[in-house]
Amino acid sequence: MAGVFDIDLETEDVSDTEEDFYDDSVTEPDNVQKEEVELTSECVNRDSEKVGPDFFELLTVLGKGAYGKVFQVRKVQGAMSGKIFAMKVLRKAKIVCNAKDTAHTRAEREILETVRHPFIVDLLYAFQTGGKLYLILEYLSGGELFMQLEKEGIFMEDTACFYLGEIILALGHLHSNGIIYRDLKPENIMLNHQGHIKLTDFGLCKESIHDGSVTHTFCGTIEYMAPEILTRSGHNRAVDWWSLGALMYDMMTGSPPFTAENRKKTIDKILKCKLNLPQYLTIDAKDLIKKLLKKNPTQRLGSSKADCADIKGHPFFKQINWGDLVNKRVEPPYKPQLQSDEDVSQFDTRFTRQTPVDSPDDTSLGQSEELTFAGFTYVAPSVLDSLKEGFSFEPRMRPVRRHNISPRTPNRSALFKCSPSSC
């Protein structure tokens, strides 16, 4: 499932580290006169271009599923002409069939507008045609963190510490906005061109599996899901800290903490199996994993009002300067090897080899379905700033694309497994 999230309306005040991150390239002189302007979608969109599918040239397919596709595109008109983006295209007719999917789609667009964070993907534009919804997102050329993890097998503790630190800051920020990510796993964590973390996919399942059976009501990987999600016994933001623990275990041992040959057995293990920690982990790593993988969410580290602050203060992160980390002043452990802005070598060739086509779909839906997506259109304030400055990226000649030659290496399998005796 791709980043299914909840907007947790009951979330209490969770303090955020918002003042920690800032764009230090912008400084304002003291004598500048300021005018207060209320930001509404009307005034935000007023002076901007009316962007549509024609503004984007399709370059490559990055992902595909039952609801739509994700393309790498180049903007070919107006502001930021020549710049590369990711374009998510969703079929309205597919989405409106299911009330939950409709809610998730609307929420993704709203979350991406609300949330600005260095480690969360940026939304630049949102628009729609009769049959489709479009999100224009920053292009993340580093690909999935999963790819890097597959390549390395396991991460050194310093490497894991860096990635986990950036993820904690992103999750803490979501929580402080009342949002639970709910589906943290290596496939949903992307890297930008510098190798920094970006959480993406706040929307639908990549596949649509709605057969109603208990084990298949969750689509995609379940290995990182908290017990209380799997039992549907009510959950809160502590589910994200469980997933962080499962991810940490995976990064350091080569597989998630509870795995089995099928989904039912995996769920059984997540619910009942005792955690088995390999000896080679440091005391601090073992202690943090144990505290994050508490089956009872009220006992889990991060479940208190302090949220991520409790995790940030754990000795495992003692060498992290959180201010430097949030301001991207810490060098990422791996810098993606990229030839150009449009390099797709970090993506799966199963997708990138496909011919990119966005089939025309101007199906007109019924009036009530049409209303479902009213107010979807959006232009980011950063785009308007660039318009004011007359900013434009010159289109470049497109170099010959290099495809990723090697498939994912299977060297992470069963490096360390939960022994039957511990269950």
Q: Which of residues 105-124 bind ligand FS9 (CB under 6 A)?
A: 121
Is 16 part of the annotated catalytic residue set? no
CB of residue 193 to ligand FS9, shortest distance in Å: 10
Distance CA 242, CA 227 (A): 9
- Does residue 1 belong to the site contacting ligand FS9 (CB under 6 A)? no
CB 93, CB 101: distance < 8 Å: no
Least Cα distance to 1 among 253, 221, 303 occurs for: 221
Q: For every residue of 328-350, which 3-state class applies, written as one string?
A: CCCCCCCCCCCCCCCCCCCCCHH
Q: Which is nearer to ligand FS9, 202 or 249 (CB)?
A: 202
What number of CA atoms fall less than 13 Å from residue 176's CA on the CB side? 19
Q: Using alpha carbons only, what angle is made at residue 218 by residues 146 and 189, rounded to the nearest 5 degrees?
A: 20
Residue 6 host element (H or E): strand 6-7
- Catalytic site residue from 101, 183, 250, 343: 183
Amino acid identity for residue 54 in this structure: D
CA 381 to chain centroid, in Å, comes to: 21
CB of residue 263 to ligand FS9, shortest distance in Å: 20
Could you tell me which stretch among 63-71, 322-330, 364-372, 387-395 binds ligand FS9 (CB under 6 A)? 63-71
Q: Which of residues 71-100 bind ligand FS9 (CB under 6 A)?
A: 86, 88, 90
- Does residue 68 belong to the site contacting ligand FS9 (CB under 6 A)? yes
Q: Which of 53, 65, 78, 356 binds ligand FS9 (CB under 6 A)?
A: 65
Amino acid identity for residue 312 in this structure: K
3-state secondary structure at position 45: helix
- Does residue 64 belong to the site contacting ligand FS9 (CB under 6 A)? yes
Q: Which of residues 151-210 bind ligand FS9 (CB under 6 A)?
A: 190, 200-201, 203-204, 206
Q: Which of 67, 119, 218, 224 binds ligand FS9 (CB under 6 A)?
A: 67
Least Cα distance to 92 among 65, 68, 123 occurs for: 68
Q: Which is nearer to ligand FS9, 68 or 302 (CB)?
A: 68
**Residue keyed to tokens 């495809």:** 403
Q: Which is nearer to ligand FS9, 17 or 60 (CB)?
A: 60
Interface size with ligand FS9, residues (CB under 6 A):
23
DSSP structural state of residue 421: G
CB of residue 30 to ligand FS9, shortest distance in Å: 38
- Does residue 133 belong to the site contacting ligand FS9 (CB under 6 A)? no
Q: Which of 53, 63, 153, 278 binds ligand FS9 (CB under 6 A)?
A: 63
DSSP structural state of residue 316: G
Could you tell me which stretch among 68-76, 227-235, 261-269, 352-360 binds ligand FS9 (CB under 6 A)? 68-76
Q: 356: left (phi > 0), else alpha (psi -120 to 50), else beta?
A: beta
Residues with a known catalytic role: 183
Q: Which residues bind ligand FS9 (CB under 6 A)?
A: 2, 62-65, 67-70, 86, 88, 90, 121, 137-140, 190, 200-201, 203-204, 206
